[in-house]
Each structure stands twice: as structure tokens, then as C-alpha cells.
């Protein structure tokens, strides 16, 4: 069946309303508002989740530096911080036993950081973005990265009303073509549009090491009071993963009765039957975990892929009409397993670069390289 797709034109297209995309939108709106020589550009911020934060999942201890730079009065504005980190501990687990480290490895020291619910934090950031006058189009997913002569020109959204075989049903509605002067992919780890970008623009990944990944499985529990202190952070390595493979877990005290618990498994395991979910279920039976969780109730469950290749796995961050931010670019401190503050910082740097591009009406790779330069100097 032949049909025409609606064409929507915008100045700036941001794909993904996570920490990076929201920081970019908020910072760009603020920069334009402070520049008397500019009018507010058209900014389209889209996210596949049905609400802002719906696909944001992490057992999160957040370094607040990124958020403090973006919104200096974030506490006064009610940012949802569950607890400031207090006690830190680190265990090497064996089956049925644990050895507590006599000191904390420096990357795992969390003094000054906050235990947060990323879902709540992203929802709150979305409110700040909307208060700045930018609409967020939740429930709008990208299907294809649009190219023209080697330049990125936007995104086609997904078709609606298809059956499981991809055939059109009676309620079929074709996706739209969103054409933009610059498209910023902030869609998280190994997103579909980012994968297309690497396929269509091979030079993006020509000079970096291959990315590597963990899968982290997480639950939030309500437990009897007294099991854990608000802000208490426990990290573990070892069991149930074998010694020659990566496996590590966490327990974060969100309040006196709320706990985030999770376990991460390396996806480079040589064992094809290695199951992160099964490892997590075993992990919760260990005495260190059992003393916290026994008698509690599991409230929420989820899993997330984590990019841990580090600095040398970050791809080229720019192309004609394109920027990559946050987890889409592998921006995570693998030693600390922290990426929220880096994602926010990448959004800030991208906003500064997009402002320059808008003022010059130049969206070439040569102009957008300023983003990579800012990142290297930051």
C-alpha cells in the first residue's frame, strides 16, 4: 500500500529523554534565553517511553557534580535525592562466606555522593525542562536514522498498527519523517538509531576500541526497619560468578526501609549459559544479602546494559548533522561504574556546541567537532 509520511521540520532533534538529553535541552534553552541576539530555536525532544523516566533504570549512586553544574539550586528545587552516602563497605564473596576489605578501593569511595532513584530523578529533570518551555514527546520512538549525501538529516518514527508479522492492521498509522538541522542521539546503551549511525557512518567507530558491556539486574525491596541505614552503600565482587569472570553486586540504602539491590555480569563471559538473572537470584541467597532482605517485599524489578569499555572505547562523537551523548557514546566511568554525572555533562557540552552551530547556521562535522574538543578539555 502506498502512503505518504508526514514531514516535520525542526531545528534541533534530541532522541532520548534521559539525563543526557534532558540536560542538553535544559542547558540549550537557558543559553538561548540569556543571549539577546537569538530567538528560541525549535527543539523537539522525543522519548520512546510512555512517560519521562519510564525507561530510566539504575541502582544508582550519583556523583552530584553534573547536576550541580546544570541546576546549581537543584536541592532547593526539590531534586529527588533518596539519601546522602554515609557508610561504605566492600566485600569479596565466596559461596556462604564473605571477606570484608580493610579499606575501600578508591574508585568505590562514595563520600559526597547520593543514592537516587534514576526513574524519579529523570522525571524531575523532565519537569525542569518543560518549565523552561520545551515540550517532551513521550511515547515517540525512532525507527530509522535519515541520511542525505552522507549527512544526518533526522529520524523516521515507528509505524503504528502493525501485527507481529509486520503487516498493516486496520488501525495502521505510518511514522513521520522528522527533519532537523542537527540530531543528537541520547538514547542509551546500544540504541537502535546509534547502531544505525555506526553502520551508516563507519568512521564514527574507526579509531576506538570495541565497546564491552555488563548486564545489571536490579530490584527495589521494602525491608524491616533497622536492616540498613539510609545512604549505606555495600559493594561486592565474586560469587556467584566464577573467579575468572566479572561479577559484582551492590546494596544501597535508600531509606530505613527501602533498599536497591543488584548484580552485574560481564557479557564477555566464555560460558554461553551464563545467565545474569540466575546469578542475581543466587546472589540474594548469600548471607550478606539475606540479612538485609529476609522478611522483606520486592517492589520493583528490571535490568540494564552497562557500557564498560572506558575512555578508549568512546567513538567519534560528531558527524555532519549528528552528535552522540551519554551512554549512547559509552560515557561511563568503568572503574567507578558511574555515568549519570558524565551523561549530564555531555548534554551541557553538546548544548554549548549546538548554540554555536545555530548562531553560525553551520551543522557540519567541522563545526560540531567543537563538542569533542569540549569533551576532551573538560
pLDDT digits (tens, 9 = 90+) for 188-224: 998 999 999 999 999 999 999 999 999 999 999 999 9
Can you give the CATH number for the domain in which 160 is found?
3.50.50.60
Please state the rounded mean pLDDT for residues 122-133.
96
Report long-range pairs for 77-80 (Cβ below 8 Å, ≥24 apart). Answer: 77/128, 78/124, 79/121, 79/124, 80/116, 80/117, 80/120, 80/121, 80/123, 80/124
In a shared domain, residues 174 and 300: no
* pLDDT exceeds cutoff 90 at 159: no
Can you give the CATH number for the domain in which 88 is found?
3.30.9.90
In a shared domain, residues 239 and 362: no
Q: Band of the pLDDT at 337, cuts 50, 70, 90? A: confident
In a shared domain, residues 166 and 299: no
pLDDT at 2: 63
* 76-121 pLDDT tens trace: 999 999 999 998 999 999 999 999 999 888 888 899 999 999 999 9
* 224-254 pLDDT tens trace: 999 999 999 999 999 999 988 889 999 999 9
Q: Which of 307, 331, 354 is the last residue of a domain?
A: 307
Rounded to whole angstroms, how far apart are CA atoms 283 and 344? Answer: 32
Number of domains in the chain: 2
In a shared domain, residues 163 and 206: yes
* pLDDT exceeds cutoff 70 at 1: no
Residue 102 lies in a domain: yes
In a shared domain, residues 219 and 110: yes
In a shared domain, residues 300 and 151: no
pLDDT at 64: 96
DSSP H helical ranges for the chain: 19-33, 65-70, 118-131, 192-200, 276-283, 287-293, 340-360, 365-377
Nine cell digits for residue 287: 548471607
| CB-CB neighbours of 290 under 10 Å | 11
User: Running DSSP on this structure, what letter comes out for residue 145?
Assistant: E
Is the pTM here over 0.85, yes or no? yes
Residue 55 lies in a domain: no
pLDDT at 253: 95
In a shared domain, residues 156 and 174: yes
Paired with 178 in beta bridges are 8, 155
In a shared domain, residues 30 and 148: yes
In a shared domain, residues 182 and 325: yes
Please state the rounded mean pLDDT for residues 157-182.
88
In a shared domain, residues 228 and 293: yes
For residues 258 and 82, the answer to whether their CB atoms sit within 8 Å is: yes
* pLDDT exceeds cutoff 60 at 162: yes
pLDDT at 180: 98
Q: Which of 255, 275, 307 is the last residue of a domain?
A: 307
Residue 131 lies in a domain: no
Residue 253 lies in a domain: yes
Residue 86 lies in a domain: yes
3-state secondary structure of 142: strand
In a shared domain, residues 296 and 320: no
Q: Which of 289, 307, 325 is the last residue of a domain?
A: 307
Residue 125 lies in a domain: no
In a shared domain, residues 201 and 147: yes
Pairing state of beta strands 136-138 and 160-162? unpaired
Residue 53 lies in a domain: no
Residue 126 lies in a domain: no
Rounded to whole angstroms, how far apart are CA atoms 200 and 194? Answer: 10
* Domain, as residue range, for 72: 60-117+213-307
Amino acid at each position: 500500500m502506498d502512503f505518504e509520511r508526514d514531514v516535520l521540520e525542526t531545528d534541533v532533534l534530541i532522541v532520548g529523554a534521559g539525563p543526557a538529553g534532558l540536560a542538553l535541552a535544559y542547558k540549550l534553552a537557558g543559553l538561548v534565553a540569556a543571549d539577546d541576539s537569538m530567538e528560541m530555536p525549535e527543539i523537539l525532544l522525543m522519548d520512546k517511553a510512555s512517560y519521562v523516566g519510564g525507561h530510566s533504570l539504575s541502582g544508582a549512586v550519583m556523583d552530584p557534580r553534573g547536576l550541580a553544574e546544570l541546576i546549581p539550586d537543584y536541592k532547593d528545587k526539590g531534586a529527588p535525592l533518596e539519601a546522602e552516602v554515609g557508610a561504605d563497605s566492600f566485600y569479596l564473596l565466596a559461596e556462604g562466606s564473605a571477606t570484608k576489605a580493610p579499606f575501600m578501593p578508591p574508585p568505590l569511595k562514595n563520600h559526597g555522593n547520593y543514592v537516587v532513584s534514576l526513574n524519579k530523578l529523570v522525571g524531575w529533570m523532565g519537569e525542569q525542562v518543560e518549565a523552561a518551555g520545551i515540550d517532551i514527546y513521550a511515547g515517540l520512538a525512532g525507527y530509522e536514522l535519515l541520511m542525505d549525501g552522507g549527512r544526518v538529516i533526522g529520524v523516521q518514527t515507528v509505524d503504528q498498527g502493525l501485527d507481529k508479522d509486520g503487516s498493516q492492521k486496520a488501525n495502521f498509522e505510518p511514522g513521520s519523517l522528522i527533519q532537523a538541522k542537527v540530531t543528537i542521539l541520547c538514547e542509551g546503551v546500544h540504541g537502535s538509531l546509534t547502531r544505525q549511525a555506526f553502520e551508516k557512518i563507519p568512521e564514527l567507530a574507526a579509531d576506538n576500541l570495541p565497546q564491552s558491556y555488563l548486564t545489571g539486574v536490579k530490584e527495589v525491596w521494602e525491608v524491616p526497619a533497622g536492616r540498613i541505614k539510609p545512604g549505606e552503600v555495600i559493594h561486592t565482587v565474586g560469587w556467584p560468578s566464577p573467579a575468572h569472570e566479572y561479577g559484582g553486586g551492590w546494596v544501597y540504602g535508600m531509606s530505613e526501609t527501602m533498599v536497591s539491590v543488584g548484580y552485574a555480569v560481564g557479557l564477555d563471559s566464555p560460558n554461553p549459559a551464563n545467565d545474569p538473572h540466575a546469578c542475581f537470584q543466587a546472589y540474594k541467597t548469600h548471607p550478606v544479602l539475606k540479612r538485609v532482605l529476609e522478611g522483606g517485599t520486592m517492589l520493583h524489578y528490571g535490568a540494564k546494559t552497562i557500557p564498560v569499555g572506558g575512555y578508549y572505547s568512546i567513538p567519534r562523537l560528531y558527524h555532519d548533522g549528528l552528535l552522540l551523548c551519554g551512554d549512547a557514546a559509552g560515557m561511563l566511568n568503568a572503574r567507578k561504574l558511574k555515568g549519570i554525572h558524565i551523561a549530564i555533562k555531555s548534554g551541557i557540552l553538546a548544548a554549548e556546541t549546538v548554540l554555536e552551530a545555530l548562531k553560525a547556521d553551520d551543522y557540519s562535522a567541522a563545526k560540531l567537532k567543537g563538542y569533542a574538543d569540549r569533551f576532551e578539555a573538560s
